[in-house]
Amino acid sequence: MQLNNRVSKVSRLIQKELSNVFNIDLTNQFSGIIISVTTVRITPDFSEARVFLSVFPLEKPNEFIRGINNNKQFIRGKLGSRIKNQFRKVPKLIFFLDDSAEFSNEIEELIKK
């Protein structure tokens, strides 16, 4: 029970700090794009974090995620500078596109018809 609680707290902290990285530190790289960190799933040993991003507007989602993953070391460094007092080692980041909002919009449109 205690490990699950710690994993949950670490996930929330990484989610909050990554949101700050995207919306404060990297504002110039993503001007005109709203990036939300919707979910962070971290392994129990804290070595890897799967980060799900919601992006608006998004015309080429695969290219966006590929670009994010190509720059993940830079993003990880920015995250590390924000959480350096809480962690010895910053987890490896893997980014995914969270398309749940888009999926729910499609379902809602189908229901309206």
Q: What is the pLDDT of residues 77-110, one digit of tens each?
A: 999 999 988 888 899 999 998 876 565 566 666 6
What is the domain count for the chain? 1
Task: Give residue 40's domain range.
Answer: 2-112
Residue 55, domain CATH: 3.30.300.20
Residue 105 is predicted with a pLDDT of 60
DSSP the chain: -HHHHHHHHHHHHHHHHHHHIIIIITTTTTTT-EEEEEEEEE-TTSSEEEEEEEEES-S-HHHHHHHHHHTHHHHHHHHHHHHTTT-SSPPEEEEEE--HHHHHHHHHHHHH-
pLDDT of 80? 92
Mean pLDDT, rounded, of the chain:
84
**Tell me, what amino acid is at 20?**
N
Mean pLDDT within 19-45: 85
Task: Determine the pLDDT at residue 68.
Answer: 86
